[in-house]
Amino acid sequence: MNLLIELLAFAVAIGVLVVVHEYGHYSVARLCGVKVLRFSIGFGKPLFQWVSPKTGTEWTIAALPLGGYVKMLDERETGTAPIPADELPHAFNRQSVWRRFAIVAAGPVANFLLAIVLFALVFASGVTEPAAVLAAPAPNTPAAVAGFEGGETIVAVRVGRADDSEPVRSWSDLRWKLLGAAFDQKHIVLSAKDAHGVSDFPLDLRAISEKDVDDDFMSRLGFEPGGGKLMVAGVQPGSAAQRAGLVAGDRLRAINGTPTDNAATFIAYVKSHAGQPVTLQVERGGRGAQAAGKLEDISIVPQAQRDPATGQQIGRIGAELATQVPSIDVRYGPIESLQLGARRTWDLAVYSVRMFGRMIVGEASLKNLSGPVTIADYAGKSARLGPSAFLSFLALVSISLGVLNLLPIPVLDGGHLLYYLVEAVTGKVVSDRWQLVFQRAGLACIVALSAIALFNDLARLIHF
């Protein structure tokens, strides 16, 4: 059943993204007076064909659905009859360089517009997200240096000494604002409230480099979601947790006297205390009226194990953890939703470009590339989580598709745009000979990227 959901969600995602992308090319071509011969979803043998009596465009659904194309009237197309003189003004190659530029750029632009609309729908319909409550930060992290102790709720952020501040509505909102500030290496001020009121915490991100901005950058800054309940979800037989008496349903309140409400912080502490006894403050509840709410101190010695990733000895107790974090319902008005959708699309597009640049220069791992298997997996997972998650996933992939197509690689839209820019500057069309050379090089790049993405998919699938 899960496989069926993944395949169906993947087909819907690819179908929507391809139709939107190609319709961007089609609509601008029609506005520019170019005759479109075929609008195809997929490649290979046609499964469905229909010719519009008004425009003469052949609409096709083909057997291989991974992509699509728009075929326009063009004198450079080989193997076709000469174009009648009265139709020559409607040929793509007869258009001005800026019209050709607009037609080619319209596909990626359509993907970005789709992402804005999808994000706006998510923001307007409302989502339930973790509240921006902080767990106790690890020592010497930027959050700890700023003065956070844990339990504070971030309510606003402002840049440097600016008077205007932006509200922080959720943990996701906080993450995006910190991501933008880290990329731009800004000094910001976070406003947070606790039992004593609202206070300002200066956070200097000017020393953060782009290579530090990855999936773990929030943890690296010392920001982990807190304010919730850290529960024991299960205990492995024969583990240190079982020998110490931990059972499923126990709430972990503190470790060696330090309050804990975040799984990542707790696990990091346990890892750093391999073979050393630690004291857990545990709240027992749910197994009888007399035991409910009772606090107990339990001594436990994390077992020393070799970390396969680093080769170092780390501590493990053999307990499965679950965090129940406070959540908040976030809903925006129509105008604000569009503004936030546009900002989120811009931030993700910039982040994607920077990540790709870091991969090229070797500052980021090529393991970040994903192929159709991973996309199908996430499509199915997001579909099972609900409409908001699936729409957000669809927007993310749409942005990735738009950015990918704008890369200056021949055979992609970005490669053609590069040709047109050269033509606009020099006044000369890039010769067919050089276009053929660049096309072969671009095709080699695409094949290499596809092979790496597929390898990463298989590596994630079979864990090698």
pLDDT score recorded for residue 464:
46
Quick check: is 77 catalytic?
no
DSSP 357-395: HHHHHTSS-GGG---HHHHHHHHHHHHHH-HHHHHHHHH
Q: Which domain holds residue 384?
A: 96-126+333-464
pLDDT score recorded for residue 289:
38
Identify the domain boundary among 324, 355, 382. Answer: 324
Note whether 426 and 317 are same-domain residues. Answer: no
- Asked if the structure places residue 289 within a domain, the reply is yes
Gyration radius of the chain over CA positions: 27
Q: Catalytic residue, from 22, 152, 224, 283: name it.
A: 22
Asked which of 125-129, 240-244, 451-455 is least confident by mean pLDDT, the reply is 451-455
Mean pLDDT to the nearest integer, 223-247: 89
Mean pLDDT to the nearest integer, 226-235: 88
Mean pLDDT to the nearest integer, 177-198: 84
The pLDDT confidence band at residue 32, using thresholds 50, 70 and 90, is very high
pLDDT score recorded for residue 376:
65
Note whether 193 and 315 are same-domain residues. Answer: no
40 CB contacts (<8 Å, ≥6 apart)?
Answer: 22, 46, 60, 61, 62, 68, 69, 70, 71
Tokens of 262: 């975040």
Mean pLDDT to the nearest integer, 15-20: 90
Note whether 338 and 417 are same-domain residues. Answer: yes
The pLDDT confidence band at residue 80, using thresholds 50, 70 and 90, is low
pLDDT score recorded for residue 363:
63
* pLDDT at 197 > cutoff 50: yes
* pLDDT at 380 > cutoff 80: no
The residue whose two tokens read 């090229």 is 360
pLDDT score recorded for residue 291:
43
Q: How many CA atoms lie within 13 A of 215 on its CB side?
A: 4
Note whether 348 and 453 are same-domain residues. Answer: yes
Question: Which residue from 357, 112, 329, 367 is spatially nearest to 215, judged by alpha carbons?
Answer: 367
Note whether 429 and 350 are same-domain residues. Answer: yes
252-290: per-residue pLDDT in tens? 988 998 888 888 888 888 999 999 999 999 998 754 434
Main-chain dihedrals φ then ψ at residue 448, nearest 5 degrees: -65, -45
Burial 81-95 (b: 16+ CB within 10 A, else e): eebeeeeeebbbebb
Note whether 186 and 235 are same-domain residues. Answer: no
* pLDDT at 184 > cutoff 80: no
The residue whose two tokens read 């690890």 is 138
Note whether 284 and 159 are same-domain residues. Answer: no
307-334: per-residue pLDDT in tens? 876 778 899 999 999 888 788 888 888 9
pLDDT score recorded for residue 463:
46
* pLDDT at 378 > cutoff 70: no
- Asked if the structure places residue 146 within a domain, the reply is yes
The residue whose two tokens read 């197509």 is 405
